[in-house]
Structures are given as structure tokens and as C-alpha cells.
Amino acid sequence: MVFKKLIRNRISLVGLVILLGFILIAVLAPVIAPIPDEFLAMDPNRDPYRIPRYGFSSTPRPPSPEHPMGLTEGQLDIFHGIVWGTRTAFKVGLIVVSVSCSIGIVIGSISAYIGGKFDEIIMRFVDVFMSFPFLIAAIVITSVLGKGLGNVMIAMIMFRWTGYARLIRGNVLQVKQDEYVMAARAAGVSHIKILLRHILPNTIFPVIIQASMNMGSIVVTASSLSFLGLGAQEGYADWGQMISYARNWILGAPGNPMAYWYTVVYPGLAIVLFVLSWNLIGDAFRDIMDPKLQA
């Protein structure tokens, strides 16, 4: 029913179509941007996420028939980077969202179910985590763990679960006093069973939706960290890193400020469209889920 409404709404339909496009690109990446034969000949086990490098000059080269989006700093193929970067984006987003959401749901629901002092302590703990700007917190953790996309994901998970914990806690607190929970408790059902069978099925859905709508912002933060040089390793297909390559060329050549436009426009467009699609769907979702706006 929700899905039907999403399709009927023009704004969210646009979001769904863009998202579907990205999913297709990610799935078909080996077909759309295969590793070029000359690179495969050199190294049969080449990681497809490594962007092919065509030469050693640092100056970017404009789009041409062989390289439809041009070559960015270090002669890296922009088209290849964008196609495989789609997979990186989904990978980072899905892992961070699912792991942090699971941690948040476990801690938040247990905290609310037990209640009392325990709940109070957990929530103060959450407050402390939430008093750091997300980006700064991620920088702190990556700087002590070391650079790399894996550590960036760990850092984001460490500071993302708190929001979901707070959300599910509020929902569980409301449901906890409902009659069917009381009835189950009176019937002698174990605490774990009450939580898993009766409380979570009634509280988990909005939290999961909320979490999946955060895919866009997670991908932006991960790209920001790559942009700052903390994330993906050199030459790895990652949108944020491709934009950091564009930084030195943004002002163009003397007399032609737009000389290297393709270095920033293509990867920029990829990130913006990706995030936009999630936000369009999320915006429509909020309206559908909000009973106050139904009338």
C-alpha cells in the first residue's frame, strides 16, 4: 500500500526511477565498465575497483570517444570510477546503515524494556556520543584507527547507532504499557520472547524506514572523509576521492576557467543524484507515515 502511494506521488516516483538507475549501474558494472583488456593482460586478477590509469601526466584530459567522461588528475578514467563508485556507495551505505541500525535496535529496545536506572545510564551514554558533530567524530576515530574505507565505516557505525537507539527506545516505551504486552507477561512469557515476539514487531518498522532513508547522508559523510583524504585508498573507485582529485583543477587554465569542468561535474552529479533519490523517497515517506498530514 505504501509502495502504491510512493508510485502515485510524482516526486517520489522520480526518486524511485533514479534509484533504480543506480541499482542497475551497480549490478551491471562489470558489463558497463569492464577492466580494459590491456590492463587485464598485465594482471589477470586486477581488482575492478581500481580505476585504470592511462599515463603519468597529472593534467586531466577532456572527454573523448575512448574516455566518454575524460581523465581526471593522474590520468584516471572518470567513467570507470563513477560506475564502480556506485557499487562503493551502495556497499558503504548498506553496511553502515544495517550494522548501526541493528546495534541501535538491540541496545535501545533492551534499555527501554528494562527501564529505570539502567535506561537512564544508557541514555546519558547516548547523549555523550551525540554531543560530537558526526563528521568530527568520524575523523577522530579514523585518525586513531588509521586511514582506509573499512575504518571509515567502523568510525561511522560507532557514532550512528545512537540515533536509532533513541528512536526505538521511544517506540518501545510507548508499546511497553500496552495491554497485549501486559497479558503476555501475566501469562508468564519470558522477557526475551516478549521483546522479540510482541514488542519489536510493533516498533521496528519506522526505525528501519528511517535508517534506510539515511543511506544518502551516510554516503555523503563517507565521501567527505574520502575528500579529506581519510577514506578510500589512492586510485580506488570512490566518488568523494574523485572530487578531491578535481580540487586542484577547479580554477581551470589561464584564460579558460572552465577548462577542467568534467573533473568535478561528473562525480559531483553522481553524488547529488544518489543522495537526491533517497531524499525524494524519504520526503514522500514522511508525508505518508505522518497521520497529521492525512486529513
Residue 103 or 276 having the CB closest to another protein: 276
The strand pairing partners of 236, in sequence order, are 50
Q: Using alpha carbons only, what angle is made at residue 277 by residues 163 and 211, rounded to the nearest 5 degrees?
A: 20
- CB 165 to another protein: min, Å: 15
Instruction: Give residue for cell 558489463.
Output: 31
Give me the least distance between CB of 251 and another protein, in Å please: 4
**Nearest approach, Cβ of residue 246 and another protein (Å):** 7
Which is closer to another protein, CB of 84 or CB of 274? Answer: 274
CB of 276 to another protein, least distance (A): 4
H-helix segments, the chain: 2-8, 10-27, 29-32, 37-42, 78-114, 116-130, 134-145, 149-176, 179-186, 191-193, 200-213, 215-227, 239-246, 261-289
Positions that interact with another protein (CB under 8 A): 11, 124-125, 127-129, 131-137, 139-147, 216, 220, 223-224, 227-230, 240, 243, 246-247, 250-252, 257-258, 261, 264, 268, 271-272, 275-276, 279-280, 283, 292
Q: Exposed, middle or buried: residue 89 (CB in 10 Å: 0-12, 13-18, 19+)?
A: buried
- Cβ proximity to another protein: between 132 and 180 the closer is 132
Q: What's the closest the beta carbon of residue 120 comes to another protein, in angstroms? A: 11
- Centre a 10 Å sphere on the Cβ of residue 244 and count the other Cβ atoms it contains: 20
| CB closer to another protein out of 39 and 261 | 261
Q: Which residue, 118 or 180, is less far from another protein as judged by CB?
A: 118
- Taken in order 131, 136, 139, 144, is the CA torsion positive or negative? negative
Closest CB 129 distance from another protein, rounded Å: 7
Closest C-alpha to 241, from 51, 91, 48, 3:
51
Give the shortest CB-144-to-another protein separation in angstroms.
4
Report the residue number, 168 or 219, with the smaller CB distance to another protein.
Answer: 219
In 3D, which of 164, 140, 165, 136 has the Cα closest to residue 151?
Answer: 140
Residue 50 Ramachandran class (φ > 0 left, ψ -120 to 50 alpha, else beta)? beta
By the 8 A CB rule, do 112 and 173 touch? yes
Closer CB to another protein, 70 or 240, in the complex: 240
